[in-house]
Amino acid sequence: MNKYLIILGVLLITACSNGLEKEAKEQMKKTMKELLKNPDSATLTNVKTELNNDSLCIIHFNCKAQNGFGGYTSTKYEYVYLKWKTDDKTIYKEGVFDLEETESVIKKAKDLISSISELADKDIRKGKSADELERDSIDTIYLVAFGKLIFGGRKVDKDDGEEIKL
């Protein structure tokens, strides 16, 4: 089991390429301004990109902001930004999740892999190459993120640029 944690750790480090991180952080700022009662009072700290590739970015952060009663609260959040392509368009979804109320996408994916291995009564990943293990992990994380966004996320309206009528 520890080897899966090591593989997942290596995966997270190697998956941090240019990816969606910059775009996801910009959208995260817009979303938090929209969701908070008093966005001018907010401070995002301990911002850490947990996963970043060309189709998924997961960011953990703490948000300290003024609540509706005038006091300040601090909450740890997970921001999930997902991109997928259909035949004719690209769709973006996002979700902001309170980590005190729900498990992180990566932990759920790790638990899913472990549960499948237990149900199969064998290590389903045994004998696979490092590339296959990495693909399996990314696919599982993507699947969990997609499911979480279907039930608790929203579509991101992207500005496709200026329209010019001829």
Question: What pLDDT is recorded for position 12?
Answer: 47
Consecutive 10-residue runs of the chain (166 residues): their mean pLDDT? 46 57 96 91 95 96 89 94 90 96 92 77 69 81 92 84 57
Question: What pLDDT is recorded for position 118?
Answer: 73
Integer Rg of the chain from CA: 18
Q: Is residue 139 part of a domain?
A: yes
Q: Is residue 38 part of a domain?
A: yes
Question: What pLDDT is recorded for position 76?
Answer: 97
How many structural domains compose the chain? 1
Please tell me the distance from the alpha carbon of residue 64 to that of residue 72, in angstroms, as a whole number.
7
Q: Is residue 90 part of a domain?
A: yes
Question: What pLDDT is recorded for position 87?
Answer: 84
Distances (CA, A) of 160 to 1, 47, 89, 112, 157: 45, 28, 11, 36, 9
- Alpha-helix runs per DSSP H in the chain: 2-14, 21-35, 105-119, 130-152
Please tell me the distance from the alpha carbon of residue 129 to that of residue 32, in angstroms, as a whole number.
40
Q: Is residue 71 part of a domain?
A: yes
Q: Is residue 160 part of a domain?
A: no
Q: Is residue 164 part of a domain?
A: no
Q: In b/e form, how buried is each residue of 34-68, taking b as 16+ CB within 10 angstroms?
A: eeeeeeeebebeeeebbbbbebbbbbbbebebbee
**One-letter amino acid identity for 108?**
K
Q: Is residue 163 part of a domain?
A: no
Please tell me the distance from the alpha carbon of residue 20 to that of residue 54, in angstroms, as a whole number.
6
Q: What is the domain extent for residue 113?
A: 2-155
Q: Is residue 121 part of a domain?
A: yes
